Amino acid sequence: MDRDGVMLPAKSGEFIAKHAKHVKINKDGNEKLCKEILSSIKYNQLQMPDTGSDSIHPSKDHPRAVDWVFVTDALNFCFWSKNKEKQWVVDGYTGYFALEAALNRAIKNSVDITNPEFYSKITKEQLLNIMKGDTDVIIPLFDQRISVLHEIGNILLEKYNGTFETCVKEANKSAIKLLEIVVDNFPCFRDEAMYNGRAVSFYKRAQILVADLWNFFNGTSWGQFEDVDKLTMFADYRVPQVLVYFGVMSYSDELMNKLKNDELLESGSDEEIEIRGCSIHAVELLKKRIEDEIKEKHLNVSVPSSSLIDYYLWCYRRKHAKEVESIPYHKTLGIFY
Ligand SMILES: Nc1nc2c(c(CN[C@H]3C=C[C@H](O)[C@@H]3O)cn2[C@@H]2O[C@H](COP(=O)(O)O)[C@@H](O)[C@H]2O)c(=O)[nH]1
Protein backbone atom coordinates (compact mmCIF):
# COMPACT_ATOMS: atom_id res chain seq x y z
CA MET A 1 0.00 0.00 0.00
CA ASP A 2 1.14 3.54 -0.79
CA ARG A 3 -0.06 6.88 0.58
CA ASP A 4 0.63 9.83 -1.71
CA GLY A 5 3.45 7.86 -3.28
CA VAL A 6 5.00 7.00 0.09
CA MET A 7 5.20 3.27 0.78
CA LEU A 8 3.80 2.22 4.17
CA PRO A 9 6.30 0.69 6.64
CA ALA A 10 5.70 -3.03 5.85
CA LYS A 11 6.09 -2.46 2.11
CA SER A 12 9.01 -0.09 2.67
CA GLY A 13 10.76 -2.79 4.70
CA GLU A 14 10.29 -5.38 1.96
CA PHE A 15 11.53 -2.96 -0.71
CA ILE A 16 14.56 -1.87 1.32
CA ALA A 17 15.49 -5.47 2.21
CA LYS A 18 15.42 -6.39 -1.47
CA HIS A 19 17.91 -3.67 -2.40
CA ALA A 20 20.04 -3.54 0.76
CA LYS A 21 23.82 -3.63 0.39
CA HIS A 22 24.98 -3.10 3.96
CA VAL A 23 22.48 -5.28 5.87
CA LYS A 24 21.44 -8.90 5.30
CA ILE A 25 18.55 -10.91 6.72
CA ASN A 26 19.50 -14.51 7.59
CA LYS A 27 17.35 -17.62 7.70
CA ASP A 28 19.32 -19.36 10.46
CA GLY A 29 18.90 -16.46 12.83
CA ASN A 30 15.22 -16.32 12.02
CA GLU A 31 14.87 -19.98 12.99
CA LYS A 32 16.78 -19.47 16.24
CA LEU A 33 14.73 -16.46 17.32
CA CYS A 34 11.50 -18.16 16.27
CA LYS A 35 12.30 -21.02 18.71
CA GLU A 36 13.14 -18.56 21.48
CA ILE A 37 9.85 -16.71 21.01
CA LEU A 38 7.74 -19.86 20.78
CA SER A 39 9.28 -21.08 24.03
CA SER A 40 8.21 -17.83 25.67
CA ILE A 41 4.51 -18.24 24.83
CA LYS A 42 2.71 -19.43 27.94
CA TYR A 43 -1.01 -19.52 28.67
CA ASN A 44 -1.52 -18.39 25.05
CA GLN A 45 0.43 -15.18 25.72
CA LEU A 46 3.90 -14.06 24.79
CA GLN A 47 5.59 -13.55 28.18
CA MET A 48 7.73 -10.43 28.08
CA PRO A 49 11.25 -10.49 29.52
CA ASP A 50 11.21 -8.65 32.84
CA THR A 51 12.76 -5.20 32.46
CA GLY A 52 12.36 -4.50 36.17
CA SER A 53 10.36 -1.30 35.67
CA ASP A 54 6.75 -1.15 34.67
CA SER A 55 5.15 1.42 36.89
CA ILE A 56 6.89 4.71 36.20
CA HIS A 57 3.77 6.19 34.67
CA PRO A 58 0.37 7.40 35.81
CA SER A 59 -2.42 4.80 36.01
CA LYS A 60 -4.76 4.27 33.08
CA ASP A 61 -7.52 5.87 35.15
CA HIS A 62 -5.67 9.19 35.30
CA PRO A 63 -7.98 11.82 33.69
CA ARG A 64 -5.31 12.73 31.13
CA ALA A 65 -3.88 9.24 30.55
CA VAL A 66 -4.36 9.43 26.76
CA ASP A 67 -2.55 12.78 26.62
CA TRP A 68 0.19 11.35 28.79
CA VAL A 69 0.84 8.57 26.23
CA PHE A 70 0.76 11.14 23.42
CA VAL A 71 3.26 13.52 24.94
CA THR A 72 5.53 10.66 26.03
CA ASP A 73 5.70 9.19 22.53
CA ALA A 74 6.15 12.63 21.00
CA LEU A 75 9.38 12.76 23.03
CA ASN A 76 10.27 9.08 22.63
CA PHE A 77 13.52 9.46 20.66
CA CYS A 78 17.29 9.63 20.90
CA PHE A 79 18.38 8.89 24.47
CA TRP A 80 21.85 7.61 23.65
CA SER A 81 25.20 9.21 24.16
CA LYS A 82 28.53 8.49 22.53
CA ASN A 83 30.65 5.75 24.12
CA LYS A 84 32.93 8.15 25.96
CA GLU A 85 30.20 10.51 27.14
CA LYS A 86 28.11 10.24 30.29
CA GLN A 87 24.46 9.18 29.89
CA TRP A 88 21.35 11.11 30.82
CA VAL A 89 19.93 9.38 33.95
CA VAL A 90 16.79 10.19 35.96
CA ASP A 91 16.19 8.60 39.38
CA GLY A 92 18.61 5.85 38.36
CA TYR A 93 16.79 5.10 35.09
CA THR A 94 18.42 5.37 31.67
CA GLY A 95 17.09 5.71 28.11
CA TYR A 96 13.34 5.60 27.54
CA PHE A 97 12.63 4.82 31.20
CA ALA A 98 14.45 8.02 32.19
CA LEU A 99 11.91 9.93 30.07
CA GLU A 100 9.02 8.15 31.80
CA ALA A 101 10.58 8.86 35.19
CA ALA A 102 11.01 12.56 34.40
CA LEU A 103 7.45 12.99 33.10
CA ASN A 104 6.01 11.02 35.99
CA ARG A 105 7.92 13.17 38.48
CA ALA A 106 6.52 16.27 36.75
CA ILE A 107 2.95 15.00 37.13
CA LYS A 108 3.55 14.21 40.81
CA ASN A 109 4.86 17.78 41.23
CA SER A 110 1.65 19.13 39.63
CA VAL A 111 3.42 20.34 36.48
CA ASP A 112 0.79 20.33 33.71
CA ILE A 113 2.96 18.35 31.27
CA THR A 114 0.03 16.54 29.62
CA ASN A 115 -1.73 19.82 28.82
CA PRO A 116 -1.03 21.50 25.44
CA GLU A 117 -2.02 24.89 26.95
CA PHE A 118 1.16 24.47 29.00
CA TYR A 119 3.58 22.71 26.68
CA SER A 120 2.71 24.61 23.48
CA LYS A 121 4.46 27.55 25.18
CA ILE A 122 6.92 25.67 27.38
CA THR A 123 10.15 27.58 28.00
CA LYS A 124 13.67 26.18 27.98
CA GLU A 125 13.90 26.70 31.68
CA GLN A 126 10.67 24.80 32.36
CA LEU A 127 11.72 21.86 30.22
CA LEU A 128 15.19 21.81 31.77
CA ASN A 129 13.55 21.52 35.16
CA ILE A 130 11.22 18.72 34.07
CA MET A 131 14.05 16.74 32.49
CA LYS A 132 16.55 17.36 35.27
CA GLY A 133 18.83 14.35 35.56
CA ASP A 134 20.78 12.80 38.44
CA THR A 135 23.96 14.44 37.11
CA ASP A 136 24.51 17.59 35.07
CA VAL A 137 24.03 15.67 31.77
CA ILE A 138 20.94 16.99 29.99
CA ILE A 139 18.55 15.06 27.76
CA PRO A 140 19.95 14.77 24.17
CA LEU A 141 18.45 17.00 21.43
CA PHE A 142 17.03 19.40 23.99
CA ASP A 143 16.14 22.18 21.50
CA GLN A 144 14.41 19.73 19.16
CA ARG A 145 12.26 18.57 22.09
CA ILE A 146 11.13 22.13 22.73
CA SER A 147 10.17 22.45 19.04
CA VAL A 148 8.30 19.13 19.11
CA LEU A 149 6.30 20.20 22.18
CA HIS A 150 5.46 23.60 20.66
CA GLU A 151 4.40 22.00 17.38
CA ILE A 152 2.18 19.23 18.78
CA GLY A 153 0.73 21.51 21.45
CA ASN A 154 -0.32 24.17 18.97
CA ILE A 155 -1.85 21.62 16.60
CA LEU A 156 -3.85 19.99 19.41
CA LEU A 157 -5.14 23.41 20.45
CA GLU A 158 -5.96 24.57 16.92
CA LYS A 159 -7.50 21.39 15.51
CA TYR A 160 -8.34 18.95 18.27
CA ASN A 161 -9.90 20.79 21.16
CA GLY A 162 -6.71 20.58 23.20
CA THR A 163 -6.65 16.81 23.66
CA PHE A 164 -5.34 13.80 21.75
CA GLU A 165 -8.57 12.01 22.73
CA THR A 166 -10.20 13.83 19.79
CA CYS A 167 -7.80 12.11 17.36
CA VAL A 168 -8.43 8.70 18.94
CA LYS A 169 -12.19 9.20 18.64
CA GLU A 170 -11.79 10.23 14.99
CA ALA A 171 -9.87 7.03 14.27
CA ASN A 172 -12.94 5.00 15.13
CA LYS A 173 -11.10 1.99 16.60
CA SER A 174 -8.68 1.67 13.69
CA ALA A 175 -4.94 1.62 14.41
CA ILE A 176 -4.11 2.43 10.78
CA LYS A 177 -6.57 5.35 10.71
CA LEU A 178 -5.03 6.77 13.89
CA LEU A 179 -1.57 6.34 12.41
CA GLU A 180 -2.68 8.30 9.33
CA ILE A 181 -4.27 11.07 11.39
CA VAL A 182 -1.04 11.47 13.37
CA VAL A 183 1.28 11.39 10.38
CA ASP A 184 -0.90 13.69 8.26
CA ASN A 185 -1.44 16.33 10.92
CA PHE A 186 1.67 16.36 13.10
CA PRO A 187 4.78 16.93 10.93
CA CYS A 188 7.22 15.82 13.66
CA PHE A 189 5.83 12.27 13.34
CA ARG A 190 6.47 12.12 9.57
CA ASP A 191 9.28 9.60 9.65
CA GLU A 192 9.93 9.20 5.91
CA ALA A 193 13.00 9.02 3.66
CA MET A 194 14.13 8.48 0.08
CA TYR A 195 15.75 5.17 -0.83
CA ASN A 196 16.70 3.90 -4.28
CA GLY A 197 14.56 6.61 -5.86
CA ARG A 198 11.43 5.74 -3.84
CA ALA A 199 9.77 7.42 -0.86
CA VAL A 200 9.73 5.02 2.09
CA SER A 201 8.36 5.31 5.63
CA PHE A 202 9.01 3.83 9.08
CA TYR A 203 6.63 5.90 11.28
CA LYS A 204 8.34 4.65 14.44
CA ARG A 205 6.91 7.15 16.91
CA ALA A 206 3.44 7.20 15.36
CA GLN A 207 3.18 3.41 15.41
CA ILE A 208 4.51 3.04 18.93
CA LEU A 209 2.03 5.71 20.04
CA VAL A 210 -0.88 3.63 18.75
CA ALA A 211 0.57 0.40 20.20
CA ASP A 212 1.23 2.07 23.55
CA LEU A 213 -2.40 3.16 23.78
CA TRP A 214 -3.44 -0.40 22.99
CA ASN A 215 -1.03 -1.74 25.60
CA PHE A 216 -1.80 0.86 28.25
CA PHE A 217 -5.56 0.33 28.04
CA ASN A 218 -5.31 -3.47 27.53
CA GLY A 219 -6.97 -3.26 24.13
CA THR A 220 -10.12 -1.68 25.58
CA SER A 221 -11.63 1.85 25.72
CA TRP A 222 -9.00 4.32 24.38
CA GLY A 223 -6.83 1.39 23.37
CA GLN A 224 -9.36 -0.59 21.37
CA PHE A 225 -8.08 -1.02 17.81
CA GLU A 226 -9.46 -3.79 15.65
CA ASP A 227 -6.52 -3.80 13.22
CA VAL A 228 -3.65 -3.46 15.70
CA ASP A 229 -1.97 -6.47 14.03
CA LYS A 230 -1.39 -4.30 10.93
CA LEU A 231 1.33 -2.31 12.70
CA THR A 232 4.96 -3.26 12.07
CA MET A 233 7.82 -3.28 14.55
CA PHE A 234 9.06 0.16 15.62
CA ALA A 235 12.35 0.88 13.88
CA ASP A 236 14.45 2.29 16.70
CA TYR A 237 18.13 1.74 17.61
CA ARG A 238 17.60 -1.11 20.10
CA VAL A 239 15.55 -3.78 18.32
CA PRO A 240 18.04 -3.89 15.37
CA GLN A 241 20.77 -4.54 17.96
CA VAL A 242 18.85 -7.59 19.26
CA LEU A 243 18.15 -8.82 15.73
CA VAL A 244 21.89 -8.76 14.99
CA TYR A 245 22.58 -10.43 18.35
CA PHE A 246 20.37 -13.39 17.37
CA GLY A 247 21.87 -13.48 13.86
CA VAL A 248 18.53 -12.56 12.26
CA MET A 249 20.32 -9.66 10.57
CA SER A 250 23.97 -9.04 9.86
CA TYR A 251 25.94 -5.96 8.88
CA SER A 252 28.66 -5.64 6.26
CA ASP A 253 32.17 -5.49 7.75
CA GLU A 254 32.37 -1.85 6.75
CA LEU A 255 29.15 -0.95 8.54
CA MET A 256 30.02 -3.04 11.60
CA ASN A 257 33.40 -1.31 11.88
CA LYS A 258 31.78 2.09 11.69
CA LEU A 259 29.41 1.20 14.53
CA LYS A 260 32.20 -0.33 16.60
CA ASN A 261 34.19 2.88 16.15
CA ASP A 262 31.17 4.83 17.41
CA GLU A 263 30.78 6.73 14.12
CA LEU A 264 27.44 8.45 13.68
CA LEU A 265 25.26 7.42 10.73
CA GLU A 266 23.84 10.34 8.78
CA SER A 267 20.05 10.64 9.09
CA GLY A 268 18.63 9.47 5.73
CA SER A 269 21.82 7.66 4.69
CA ASP A 270 21.45 4.30 2.92
CA GLU A 271 23.07 2.52 5.86
CA GLU A 272 20.65 3.97 8.36
CA ILE A 273 17.65 3.28 6.11
CA GLU A 274 18.78 -0.30 5.51
CA ILE A 275 19.14 -1.03 9.23
CA ARG A 276 15.63 0.28 9.88
CA GLY A 277 13.95 -1.19 6.79
CA CYS A 278 15.57 -4.63 7.19
CA SER A 279 14.51 -4.67 10.85
CA ILE A 280 10.89 -4.15 9.82
CA HIS A 281 11.08 -6.86 7.17
CA ALA A 282 12.99 -9.28 9.43
CA VAL A 283 10.25 -9.06 12.06
CA GLU A 284 7.57 -9.62 9.39
CA LEU A 285 9.45 -12.75 8.23
CA LEU A 286 9.84 -13.87 11.82
CA LYS A 287 6.12 -13.48 12.44
CA LYS A 288 5.42 -15.57 9.32
CA ARG A 289 7.75 -18.30 10.52
CA ILE A 290 6.14 -18.33 13.96
CA GLU A 291 2.75 -18.62 12.28
CA ASP A 292 3.94 -21.55 10.11
CA GLU A 293 5.41 -23.38 13.10
CA ILE A 294 2.22 -22.91 15.09
CA LYS A 295 0.21 -24.38 12.22
CA GLU A 296 2.63 -27.20 11.49
CA LYS A 297 2.85 -28.32 15.11
CA HIS A 298 -0.87 -27.75 15.72
CA LEU A 299 -0.05 -25.56 18.72
CA ASN A 300 -3.05 -24.11 20.45
CA VAL A 301 -1.70 -20.54 20.63
CA SER A 302 -2.34 -17.34 18.69
CA VAL A 303 0.30 -15.73 16.50
CA PRO A 304 1.86 -12.71 18.24
CA SER A 305 1.57 -9.42 16.33
CA SER A 306 4.66 -7.58 15.07
CA SER A 307 4.27 -4.99 17.82
CA LEU A 308 4.25 -7.72 20.50
CA ILE A 309 7.32 -9.34 18.94
CA ASP A 310 8.92 -5.89 18.89
CA TYR A 311 8.15 -5.29 22.53
CA TYR A 312 9.51 -8.73 23.42
CA LEU A 313 12.79 -7.89 21.67
CA TRP A 314 13.01 -4.43 23.19
CA CYS A 315 12.50 -5.91 26.67
CA TYR A 316 14.97 -8.72 25.88
CA ARG A 317 17.71 -6.13 25.30
CA ARG A 318 16.88 -4.45 28.58
CA LYS A 319 16.94 -7.73 30.53
CA HIS A 320 20.08 -9.09 28.84
CA ALA A 321 21.88 -5.75 28.44
CA LYS A 322 25.33 -7.15 29.24
CA GLU A 323 25.23 -9.96 26.65
CA VAL A 324 23.62 -7.86 23.91
CA GLU A 325 26.08 -5.02 24.45
CA SER A 326 28.65 -7.07 22.50
CA ILE A 327 26.74 -5.84 19.42
CA PRO A 328 27.01 -2.10 18.80
CA TYR A 329 23.79 -0.19 18.04
CA HIS A 330 23.58 2.48 15.36
CA LYS A 331 23.61 6.13 16.34
CA THR A 332 21.83 8.77 14.26
CA LEU A 333 20.91 12.20 15.52
CA GLY A 334 17.24 12.88 14.91
CA ILE A 335 13.76 13.10 16.33
CA PHE A 336 12.24 10.00 14.72
CA TYR A 337 13.48 7.29 17.10
N1 LIG B 1 11.17 -0.78 19.09
C2 LIG B 1 10.94 -0.22 20.26
N3 LIG B 1 11.63 0.87 20.65
C4 LIG B 1 11.36 1.41 21.83
C5 LIG B 1 10.40 0.92 22.69
C6 LIG B 1 10.39 1.76 23.82
C7 LIG B 1 9.60 1.61 25.08
N8 LIG B 1 8.26 1.32 24.90
C9 LIG B 1 7.59 0.56 25.88
C10 LIG B 1 7.95 0.56 27.27
C11 LIG B 1 6.80 0.52 28.06
C12 LIG B 1 5.63 0.77 27.27
O13 LIG B 1 4.63 -0.21 27.34
C14 LIG B 1 6.16 0.92 25.86
O15 LIG B 1 5.53 0.14 24.88
C16 LIG B 1 11.33 2.74 23.59
N17 LIG B 1 11.91 2.51 22.40
C18 LIG B 1 13.05 3.15 21.77
O19 LIG B 1 14.20 2.46 22.25
C20 LIG B 1 15.32 3.34 22.29
C21 LIG B 1 15.82 3.50 23.69
O22 LIG B 1 16.04 2.24 24.25
P23 LIG B 1 16.68 2.10 25.74
O24 LIG B 1 18.08 2.58 25.64
O25 LIG B 1 16.60 0.62 26.07
O26 LIG B 1 15.84 2.93 26.68
C27 LIG B 1 14.80 4.67 21.70
O28 LIG B 1 14.95 4.64 20.30
C29 LIG B 1 13.32 4.59 22.06
O30 LIG B 1 12.56 5.46 21.24
C31 LIG B 1 9.67 -0.26 22.31
O32 LIG B 1 8.80 -0.78 23.00
N33 LIG B 1 9.98 -0.77 21.09
Report the residue among 238, 310, 322 best suited for mutation to probe ligand 1: largest number of ligand atoms under 8 A from its CB.
238
Q: Is residue 62 part of a domain?
A: no
Q: Is the CB of 87 under 6 A from ligand 1?
A: no
210 C-alpha to center of ligand 1: Å? 13
* Res 52: pLDDT: 83
pLDDT at 182 over 70: yes
pLDDT at 145 over 70: yes
Measured from the Cα of 76, ligand 1's closest atom is 30
* Res 55: pLDDT: 73
Note if the pTM is more than 0.95: yes
Amino acid letter, residue 173: K
User: Which residue's C-alpha comes closest to atom 7 of ligand 1?
Assistant: 96
* Res 1: pLDDT: 65
Q: Rounded mean pLDDT of 128-153?
A: 98
Q: Is the CB of 217 under 6 A from ligand 1?
A: no
User: Which residue's C-alpha comes closest to atom 18 of ligand 1?
Assistant: 236
Domain count for the chain, please give it: 1
Q: Is residue 208 part of a domain?
A: yes
Q: Rounded mean pLDDT of 207-228?
A: 97
Provide the pLDDT confidence category of residue 53 given band limits of 50, 70 and 90: confident
Which one, of 179, 148, 138, 180, lies nearest residue 77 by Cα? 148
Provide the pLDDT confidence category of residue 95 given band limits of 50, 70 and 90: very high
Q: Is residue 151 part of a domain?
A: no
Q: Rounded mean pLDDT of 235-247?
A: 98
Q: Is the CB of 49 under 6 A from ligand 1?
A: no
**Those residues with Cβ within 8 angstroms of residue 329's Cβ, 6 or more apart along the chain or in another chain:** 80, 237, 238, 240, 241, 259
207 C-alpha to center of ligand 1: Å? 12
Average pLDDT of the chain is: 97
Q: Is the CB of 191 under 6 A from ligand 1?
A: no
pLDDT at 198 over 70: yes
pLDDT at 84 over 90: no
Least confident segment among 8-12, 248-252, 299-303: 299-303
The span from the CA of 186 to the CA of 15, in Å, is 26
Q: Is residue 248 part of a domain?
A: yes
The span from the CA of 199 to the CA of 223, in Å, is 30
Q: Is residue 253 part of a domain?
A: yes
Which one, of 231, 217, 221, lies nearest residue 306 by Cα? 231
Report the residue among 141, 191, 208, 286 best suited for mutation to probe ligand 1: largest number of ligand atoms under 8 A from its CB.
208
Q: Is residue 79 part of a domain?
A: no
Q: Is the CB of 205 under 6 A from ligand 1?
A: no
Q: Is residue 303 part of a domain?
A: yes
Report the residue among 48, 89, 218, 236 best suited for mutation to probe ligand 1: largest number of ligand atoms under 8 A from its CB.
236
Q: Rounded mean pLDDT of 37-44?
A: 93
Q: Rounded mean pLDDT of 169-183?
A: 98
Q: Rounded mean pLDDT of 39-59?
A: 89
pLDDT at 106 over 70: yes
Q: 209 is in which domain, residue-wise? A: 1-46+203-337
pLDDT at 25 over 90: yes
Could you give the residue numbers annotated as active site?
A: 236
The span from the CA of 325 to the CA of 192, in Å, is 28
pLDDT at 54 over 80: no
* Res 5: pLDDT: 93
Which has more confidence, 19 or 4? 19
Which has more confidence, 43 or 267? 267
* Res 3: pLDDT: 84
* Res 292: pLDDT: 97
Q: Identify the bridge partners of residue 45 per DSSP, sorted by sequence position.
A: 42
CB 90 within 8 A of CB 133: yes
Q: Identify the bridge partners of residue 7 per DSSP, sorted by sequence position.
A: 2
User: Which residue's C-alpha comes closest to atom 15 of ligand 1?
Assistant: 212
* Res 251: pLDDT: 98
Helices (H), 187-305: 204-216, 239-245, 253-260, 270-296
76 C-alpha to center of ligand 1: Å? 8
Provide the pLDDT confidence category of residue 4 given band limits of 50, 70 and 90: confident
323 C-alpha to center of ligand 1: Å? 18
Measured from the Cα of 208, ligand 1's closest atom is 15
CB 333 within 8 A of CB 78: yes
CB 195 within 8 A of CB 271: no
> CA separation (Å) from 199 to 4, 207, 333?
9, 18, 20
CA dihedral (333, 8, 280, 22) positive or negative: negative
Q: Is residue 311 part of a domain?
A: yes
pLDDT at 128 over 80: yes
